[in-house]
Structure 1
Amino acid sequence: MITHIVLLRFPDNMPGARIDELLAPFLRLPEVIPGLVAVSAGSNTSPEGLHNGYRHGLVMQFSSALDRDAYLTHPAHVRLAEPLVAALAHGVGDVAVFDLESGDR
């Protein structure tokens, strides 16, 4: 299992409704991308104050690294990622991605 974590740093003045509009379609991707098991999205709720401006994120569960890799170039993902990245002040500079692999070793 691969856990794909995407942290996003939206501009401070971006309305919450616009952020929701950009993130919500990702929740439906498991319906169209094989191997994508689950998606959650939302805002940071940590009380630690260590977000470094990354106040929103997506967490995705993939069956395998091969499924994750196929997702990266899947047309449905690309179609959603392009406007999301364009809405960030510094494009991909406002995105952090971290993947964890779990399972039998």
Structure 2
Amino acid sequence: MYIFIKIFLSFCIFYGIYIIVTAVISSHAGKELKRRGCNCDDKEISIYADSENVEYCIRAAIAESVFKVKKITVNVPSSSPERERTAEIAERFRRKYKNIKINYN
């Protein structure tokens, strides 16, 4: 019985540390998105980025929406010379995560 209590307490401590670390990462990702100029609402995250930063912004948006599922919108400008590359990166993430939408402006 003593070993069961020890294992249970270890699991609870590990899970508590996991939740705290995840909350800190989610909070930092939200601040980073705002610093990059992305719009963050309660239900949606809009990303305006070029091909160099779009992968970083999508990963930060996914990390920010860990506790609350949010719709992530990636806006690809039509005037950008790197439009195809930006769309390719966003499409790769869209196939894996179903809450990502791509807008071609």
- Bucket of the pairwise TM-score, normalised by the shorter protein: 0.3 to 0.5
TM-score of the superposed pair, with normalisation by structure 2: 0.32
User: Larger % of helix: which?
Assistant: 2
User: Larger % of strand: which?
Assistant: 1
